[in-house]
């Protein structure tokens, strides 16, 4: 070989290795999507004022904003919101995994399971509630939780944890869907979370730990959400296969609907702790894309200044004290923040529609 040819060969080799390394740096192996139902910027801000330890939101470098309207309404609900994330289509409020014309749309779980990618769902609501359901089920109304339970048992989901036991074992049709789960290779637990060692030899694992929604943090739910999320990560990654995990802080939304600030903030802090656990894993792992977002804002929540009265009876705003206020018991239409970390994260900066979450996941992973 002439020196010229050797140089040329070296140049080609360098070009080739550069290409592969760029690809490896931006293509995540795993995706973890954390959804805080009903959480706008004020809810997130509350962690910066009322959480005793630093907020884990602060650990993100890449932040975007998302438009959340559904196909027929300016203000979305959780069903249409999660269907946008899970299938990349705008549908009507109440729709679970169906398009605006009620036809079935392929969801993330169906798309990736055929490629040997493991999937998991975690929620502090029932596991058949609108947000998790949109990732694996197809029904024209979110109210059909008994039908959604059947579809979960027959889905390709590998791991789930949450409430909703009654939709499996106390049904109008008297069927026991726990039997369906067991015959579809699920280890099922209705008592409490276990360690990985008790499920490591099971093909699939499911935890149904409340009749309907899980207890509130204030009622003793403890660290269920961060713990279940860690267990889910361990279980899904145990055979070194890629995985997709969705984990939801469901009850931030419920605190908003109740206009109950202490309820809302305690649920938000629990979700913030879950973000911390997931980022700890992703930092170690280096191959995991973490996306944190919400379907919509709930309550028109505000960190306002407290109204006070001076000694001569004059009203004034005390800027030294926050008063948490609400403007509605429903949802609102404000843009929703998106936080991303890990390979592919840069894709999530900018302002885009909620359906782009699905598109961007598919783009950066090459799963489709
Ligand atoms: Mg929800
Ligand atoms: Zn809601």
Per-residue pLDDT, 26: 84
Ligand nearest to the CA of 248: 1
- For residue 190, the domain's CATH number is 3.40.720.10
User: How far is CA 167 from each of CA 150, 151, 161, 256, 258, rounded to the nearest angstrom?
Assistant: 9, 11, 14, 25, 24
pLDDT value, residue 22: 42
- Residue 248 CA to ligand 2 centre (angstroms): 13
CA distance 252 to 39: 7
253 belongs to a structural domain: yes
The CA 354 to ligand 2 mean position distance, Å, reads 16
Give the three-class secondary structure for 196.
Answer: helix
Ligand lying closest to the C-alpha of residue 124 = 1
Distance in Å, CA 180 to ligand 2 centroid: 30
pLDDT of residue 103: 98
| Full domain range(s) for residue 79 | 27-301+332-365
The pLDDT value recorded for residue 11 is 61
Q: How far apart are CA 156 and CA 118, in angstroms?
A: 8
Does 6 fall in a domain? no
> What's the CA-to-centroid distance between 328 and ligand 2, angstroms?
11
Whether 15 is in a domain gets the answer: no
pLDDT at 97: 98
| Residue 316 within a domain | no
Task: Give the pTM.
Answer: 0.93
pLDDT reported for residue 368: 86
Distance 35 CA to ligand 2 centre (A): 13
List per-residue pLDDT tens for the chain, 368 residues long.
666 766 666 666 665 555 444 445 789 999 999 999 999 999 999 999 999 999 999 999 999 999 999 999 999 999 999 999 999 999 999 999 999 999 999 999 999 999 999 999 999 999 999 999 999 999 999 999 999 999 999 999 999 999 999 999 999 999 999 999 999 999 999 999 999 999 999 999 999 999 999 999 999 999 999 999 999 999 999 999 999 999 999 999 999 999 999 999 999 999 999 999 999 999 999 999 999 999 999 999 999 999 999 999 999 999 999 999 999 999 999 999 999 999 999 999 999 999 999 999 999 999 98
Q: From ligand 2's centre to the CA of 81, what distance in Å? A: 11
Amino acid 21: pLDDT: 41
Q: Into how many domains does the chain fold? A: 1
Q: How do beta strands 331-332 and 30-36 pair? A: unpaired
Ligand 1 centroid from CA 151, angstroms: 18
- Domain for residue 19, yes or no? no
Any domain includes 198: yes
- In a domain? residue 255: yes
Q: What is the Å distance from ligand 1's center to 184 Cα? A: 26
Q: What are phi and psi of 239, to 5 degrees?
A: -100, 15
In a domain? residue 120: yes
Q: Which bound ligand lies closest to the C-alpha atom of 329?
A: 2
């Amino acid at each position: 070989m002439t020196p010229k040819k050797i140089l040329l060969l070296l140049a080609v080799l360098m070009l080739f290795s550069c290409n592969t390394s760029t690809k490896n740096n931006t293509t995540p192996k795993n995706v973890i999507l954390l959804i805080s139902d009903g959480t706008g910027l004020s809810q997130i801000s509350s962690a910066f004022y009322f959480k005793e330890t630093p907020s884990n939101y602060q650990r993100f470098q890449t932040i975007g904003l998302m438009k959340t309207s559904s196909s027929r309404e300016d203000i979305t609900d959780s069903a249409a919101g999660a269907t946008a994330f899970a299938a990349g289509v705008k549908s009507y409020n109440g729709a679970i995994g169906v398009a605006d014309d009620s036809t079935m749309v392929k969801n993330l779980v169906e798309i990736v399971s055929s490629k040997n990618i493991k999937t998991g769902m975690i929620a502090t609501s029932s596991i058949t509630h609108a947000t998790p359901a949109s990732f694996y089920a197809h029904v024209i109304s979110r109210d059909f939780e008994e039908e959604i339970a059947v579809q979960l048992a027959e889905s390709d989901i590998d791991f789930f944890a949450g409430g909703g036991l009654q939709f499996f074992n106390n049904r109008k049709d008297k069927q026991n869907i726990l039997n369906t789960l067991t015959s579809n290779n699920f280890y099922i637990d209705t008592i409490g979370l276990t360690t990985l060692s008790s499920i490591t030899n099971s093909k699939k694992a499911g935890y149904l730990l409340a009749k309907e929604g899980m207890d509130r943090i204030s009622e003793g739910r403890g660290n269920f959400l961060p713990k279940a999320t860690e267990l889910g990560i361990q279980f899904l990654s145990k055979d070194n296969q890629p995985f997709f995990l969705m984990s939801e802080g469901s009850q931030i939304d419920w605190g908003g609907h109740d206009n109950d600030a202490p309820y809302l903030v305690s649920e938000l802090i629990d979700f913030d702790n879950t973000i911390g656990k997931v980022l700890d894993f992703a930092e170690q792992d280096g191959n995991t894309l973490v996306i944190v977002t919400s379907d919509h804002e709930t309550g028109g929540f505000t960190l306002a200044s407290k109204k006070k009265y001076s000694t001569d009876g004059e009203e004034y705003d005390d800027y030294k004290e926050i008063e948490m206020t609400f403007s509605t018991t429903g949802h609102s239409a404000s843009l929703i923040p998106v936080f991303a970390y890990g390979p592919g994260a840069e894709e999530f900066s900018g302002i885009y529609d909620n359906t782009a979450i699905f598109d961007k996941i598919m783009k950066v992973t090459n799963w489709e």
